[in-house]
Amino acid sequence: MASMSGLFLDYNGPLTNDYLKYQEFSKGFGLGTHVYLTPSLNLSINTAFVPQVVSPESNSEFDRPSMIDANSLVQFKMNNGRVMSEDAFLAPYLSTGIGINSLKNKTAIYFPAALGMRMRLSQSLSLNLESMYKQSLGRKYQHITHAVGIVFTVPTQKKGQDAPVEMLEEAETSPMIATKTVITRPDRGIDTDRDGIPDVEDSCPDQMGLIQFGGCPPTISDPKDGPIKSEDAFGVDPASLAVSEPVPSVNRADDQIEIDKEDAEYLNFAMQKIYFETNSNELKAESYPVLDRIAEIMEKYPEASLSITGHTDNIGDEKGNLVLSIKRAFQVKYYLVNEKGIRLARIESDGFGEQKPLAENTTEDGRSQNRRVEFQLAKSGQQQQHNL
């Protein structure tokens, strides 16, 4: 995310306790970049320039020096999915960190404390209001900065263009695997056969295989979990997939599992918080903390199994969307098994493409709700939804 702001600098307010004397505010502008860390934390780096500053160190009638400012902040968000919804219209936050500024050839380090409010205007645009007190280190005068600006997400594709359907490449190394799905994880090491399983964990590093079979082609049983269903195969042949009407699920009381309300709410919250690269099954970094929490829930209920289902909007080819949803659900399973150590036998994954929308696909907000990964807990061996 990036931001642009108009700034109003007040040097005299902290000295005179007259914080409303806006005629003495110095005006400037600022730019910032914001990085998601966790549902509760953002990291931001900001710069600002004020052309003419009215300060106690200057003769305001004749000498109005310029000021350059930069800071690095940790932002504590209230819209973290626990205190408030991440999609809440009003999203208050607190910030602190360290900064440096230069005024009249004098440089000072300061410690900021900010109170802000972000107002969500759309999925990619927010209005931001902030007041920040800056406590200088080694200088006599402190000051306050008020900011009004916008925070926006940089688009990855041109507006109005349909998302291209992901092209599936036929595998050449194994006739039993119809397509390739390469999982890009630079920290996982060398992957000679490009099957998404690093050589250090691949029992057949020269043959493209499946995670279920230790990286080998599906000609043997999984030594830990026994035989695995064919629909869990790492590769998917789009020609073999029949797009049909979804079959409604049936819940039986004896198949359900009791879990804490907080855990059940988090599974529902996580549905819209798993992010992928555009038209890809590669997970974005902001998805990892959410999946880590889901792994903790799995460890909390050792008798439970997890069903993961992928869903898309209706942009693009219907069969291509079905394939993409299957691959994305499997990617989530891959992370939970390989990175978090959840037993493979406890997780099933599938995809339904655009067949089960939550909202109308006629608006961007509706399509955003339909692009999701759902998580359901049930007794081991069942595929029924959890019970609150």
So what's the pLDDT on residue 200?
65
Domain boundaries, the chain: 2-152, 186-379
CATH number of 2-152: 2.40.160.20
pLDDT score for 155: 55
pLDDT digits (tens, 9 = 90+) for 235-261: 444 444 444 444 444 344 455 678 888
Give percent helix, percent strand, percent coil of the chain, each to the nearest 5: 20, 30, 45
User: How sure is the predictor about 56, in pLDDT bands with cuts at 50, 70 and 90?
Assistant: low
Angle at 275 between CA 129 and CA 243, to 5 degrees: 135
Q: What is the pLDDT of residue 143?
A: 87
The answer as to CATH 3.30.1330.60 being correct for domain 186-379 is yes
Q: Using one digit for the tens of pLDDT, what is the confidence trace for 287-323? A: 999 999 999 999 999 888 999 999 999 888 888 888 8
Residues whose CB falls within 8 Å of the CB of residue 185, separated by 6 or more in sequence, listed in order? 198
Query: Which DSSP helix (H) or strand (E) runs through 102?
Result: strand 90-103
pLDDT score for 23: 75
Q: Which residue has the higher pLDDT, 160 or 16?
A: 16
Kindly provide the b/e burial profile for residues 136-165, where b requires at least 16 CB atoms within 10 angstroms of the residue's own CB: eeeeeeebbbbbebebeeeeeeeeeeebeb
Within 8 A by CB and 6+ apart from 171, the residues are 177, 178, 179, 180, 208, 235
Instruction: Tell me which of 130 and 226 has the higher pLDDT.
Output: 130
The mean per-residue pLDDT over the stretch 94-102 comes to 94
**Largest separation between any pair of C-alpha atoms in the chain:** 85
Half-sphere exposure of 28 (CA within 13 A, CB side): 22
Q: 13 is written with which tokens?
A: 């307010």
Higher pLDDT, 369 or 56: 369
Range 75-81 contact pairs with CB under 8 angstroms and sequence separation of 24 or more: 75/34, 75/41, 75/42, 75/43, 75/44, 75/116, 76/40, 76/41, 77/39, 77/40, 77/41, 77/42, 79/118, 80/38, 80/39, 80/40, 81/39, 81/266, 81/269, 81/273
Nearest alpha-carbon partner for 313 in 289, 278, 347, 288: 278
Burial class (CB in 10 A: 0-12, 13-18, 19+), 179: middle
Average model confidence (pLDDT) across the chain: 76
In this structure, the chain runs to a length of 388
Helices 288-300 and 261-270 pack at an angle, to 10 degrees, of 150
Amino acid, single-letter form, for residue 307? S
